[in-house]
Structure 1
């Protein structure tokens, strides 16, 4: 790490703002959306094939939960390490290496083997995917000034939703007709295809380093030109970083539950058919995706009118978590499959939609020379939820039977409520950026 107070690197020219730069920026953003689609299709495949895998390998719910949790064993460590590395190495090459490693990691379990091979493959895949989200966001943000980052940040995050939406019906068909190992081969091939496209078209943007920012309509933090290289501890110790990370942790817990156990809950807990469950999984993620786009639109509209990011990001984000918490906590209070399914979709869909708020908030808080580390450390902390949640839910199912699904949703609702309160009371990036950078 570079000591605080080191003078930032400067460039002579303002980043290009012409037509060509805009077209390239959106091309790169589109590729990064697809990158995140592949990333979350990889994550969702075990949940979609849960019944087949458990039957094939004779696994208990706890065993299957641990297999899902294994994905996150090195996920957080890799996310933090590569996040720090992204402040020094071009994101283009980091993203290319990650995509190739994803495809390689799928092959051991695709070739055969038992639970040990499956767990080893998922650990390897998790290590390769751990840095994906923060590095992809850093790459996207490098093409846009602060006041234009809400939409690209939301779109890259939307790739998470689109990945599951396309994976749910597509991979379910492959699993039902050709087996779950065939689905792993499909994902490996898609990863290689994306890597080829990125090698040809991917690039780092003009706002990656301490180049001058375009004028912002907000009363936000000091510009990137004036920002030095504060010690990471000053950024990570701010109320905004802590509040954002806690809120995002509770949201990621919800995502992990959706990926590992939502298909099984819909089938075994609520009695939906496999095809209906796949469609309902997609619908839940669609709702989350629409929420992401709506949040980006509202946040951008507020910031263009001079509303502080404390309100535009912190309060809007907390509102989404409050609604998600209320829906999850209401699930045991209603009768009937339809009502429970609707509340489940709203609670998980909105509860899991905090990622774009988190990323744009930390991007505003940290200067460019510290963004990779700040985002990577946040992501590493947050994704420990993925290590814990699947195993906890598996234990609840083995000890409580089908009732365990409902207990898991109530637990998620309580965590979302905590996250909403943290976002509401702690997030203020304009205030904390000034303190961290001076």
Structure 2
């Protein structure tokens, strides 16, 4: 990262004027929601098929955790590289290339292969999928003003949850009736279909103009980030807001990784639920996540348009959500199977994911348009490192302590979530840091 100013090869699009391309904006947003659904269906396959894959390939819990962590080996690196490229190259082509690459990465496992191919496929899949979320957010947010970004951002993030909600029962049925390799073929085929639709209808807003440096303050309040002249990535990433949002996102993604990789096995092997019931509970977590994300997106947009500061609308709510999820993780470590366990699992853990869209819209408010994709990608690269750590660590705990390893993992998760809540509550203030960047 550097403070040297580089003019993008072609300027990043600014938000459209009211009413400009509104239908197109929502078509693009809808396509990106579907993209994230496929993205997380891809990620969920290994968690849903954990037992048959481990049995067929002879993998221990540690080795299986490492296979899932391998997904994140190049995830952050590719996120950084493609994220910075998105400030210079049309996101339309980047997203198309990523979708094609990750779809093709799934197909060899559908046809055969063992442990080596499993690891290679996950590494390639992670490299292709890593930049998808920040680039999709950047592409969609270019169509909307700051006060209207929460809902489209929430919709795109809800695509991750919808992907798991749809894929959990669907892929579980496919795995039970046709084997785990058929699930890889299904998600790979879905990605290729999306790529064809995006090629036909996808785009980003092209009404670009070079931003000019305005006064630091106006009678209406602090200058919005979209009007601030380009600043270096280093200055953006050194702000307390960027740091706090990234820490909170890191802690949230820890739960995302566990939900995708180990919670299905935990529910089946440690708590005693059937495979179908485990899939339903996992879908329930993501369903609550969707409701919270969309509800917050709609409410936040209304409050922002009424002049409420972003730190109250976004960061404080995110801190509350992470606190709820953290306390739920502690409770799950001591609850047995039953209605109370299911309620705490679904409602408590389901609250955590909203911090992702809060972090994204907070940094989008902070960073000027020509630095938005890079700033979001650096945040995503750092935050998703928890996906590299969590699966392998939990696999080691399970091999070392059996069912007790899951309990230790839940207690650790509770601590991590409370740390994220503290970071969001004490560090994040986008209006304050936007003013400092404008000086």
Taking structure 1 as the reference length, what is the TM-score of the superposition? 0.94
Match of 1:196 in 2: 196
Q: Residue in 2 aligned with 1:392?
A: 393
- In structure 2, do the counterparts of structure 1 residues 7 and 196 end up closer, same or farther at CA, with 3 Å as the change threshold? closer
**Deviations 1:145-203, CA, capped at 9 Å, x for gaps:** 11100000000000000000010011111111111111111111100100000000001
Q: What are the Cα deviations for residues 87-124 of structure 1, in whole angstroms up to 9, with x where unaligned?
A: 00000000000000011111222221111110000000
Q: Displacement of 1:342 after TM fit?
A: 2.1
- The 5 Å alignment of 1:36-435 reads 36-206=36-206, 210=210, 219-225=221-227, 227-435=228-436
Conserved? CA contact 1:219–1:308, under 8 Å: no
Identify the range of structure 1 (39-48 vs 329-338) with the bigger mean alpha-carbon deviation: 329-338
Shift of the alpha carbon at 1:336? 4.4
Task: Give 1:410 deviation, angstroms.
Answer: 1.4
Shift of 1:333: 4.0
Residue 223 (structure 1) shift: 4.9
Residues 105 and 5 (structure 1), Cα distance of their counterparts in 2 relative to 1, 3 Å cut: closer
Cα 1:253/1:58, change in 2 over 3 Å: same
Q: 1:231 to 1:11 in 2, by over 3 A?
A: closer
Conserved 8 A contact 2:40-2:163:
yes
- Structure 1 window deviating more from structure 2 (265-274 vs 6-15): it is 6-15
**Long gaps (5+) in structure 2:** 213-217
Of 122-131 and 272-281, more deviation after overlay is shown by 272-281
Distance 1:279 1:11, change over 3 A: closer
Aligned to 2:215: none
Contact 1:144/1:207 (8 A) holds in 2: no
Shift of 1:346: 2.6
Task: Quote how far apart the aligned CAs of 1:4 are.
Answer: 4.7
In structure 2, C-alpha distance between the alignment counterparts of 1:338 and 1:349, rounded to whole Å? 16
Kept after mapping to 1: 8 A contact 2:329/2:414: yes
Q: Structure 1 unaligned runs (5+)? A: none
Q: Distance in 2 between matches of 1:61 and 1:341?
A: 24
Aligned mates of 2:383, 2:22 — CA distance in 1: 32
In 2, the alpha carbon distance for the partners of 1:297 and 1:401 equals 43
Aligned length: 433
The change in CA–CA distance for 1:64 and 1:272 in structure 2 (over 3 A counts) is: same
Relative distance call for 1:204 and 1:336 in structure 2 (3 A) is: closer
Q: Which of 293-302 and 21-30 deviates more?
A: 293-302
Contact 2:105 2:124 in 1 (8 A): yes
Task: State the TM-score, normalizing by the size of structure 2.
Answer: 0.94
